[in-house]
Structure 1
């Protein structure tokens, strides 16, 4: 039996990550799910949040904004609308995005504007969390 699995995170414009890992935890639409080596094949929709993976006893984080996870043949492929490794996140930019989203929430004129502001706030908070900032 394999002791690791291949993790690939891809966005429409780049390959974000390709590594052999011990475990992957991802934000599914119906809740977080985990994948270990030799996992049964499945496909899941992803929500906005933080994916994490374990390798050599260390945990690393990657912000993902929607997409899909495909698990098969000891490989998990994340096809994300957007993704950023924790070390690549511009924390100041995420803070400013959070402030803008909070301001938009406070003055949202209709349900659509409110929903969009909530999504923007969730993305900013998830980026900050992935980068280790609260």
Structure 2
């Protein structure tokens, strides 16, 4: 799909310019795809990922992706898994932003926060 899009549109082929996004099960999927294809996708925006279903086993965790791993403060059941995965990914070398938003498992905060995630991921790294 990336090659087809790039063949039709003048977009960068650099992993650092590519973002994958998802919410809930899509958030888990975005995270898995970003980790699996880190050579092509350098940024992951994952919101309220269904991490309770998957421990990311079998994926190459070492890497240098920028990951925006967000969840709502009212998603108390997701918080421990998000915190655990954020630590694992940081230890593996990824830059992980793990904001919490005032909301539950819903589009109310996802819709507004997706812009925050994309801006954060594509902004130059300080330093």
TM-score (norm 1): 0.24
**Which structure dedicates a bigger proportion of its chain to strand?**
1
**Which structure dedicates a bigger proportion of its chain to helix?**
2
- Higher CA-based Rg: 1
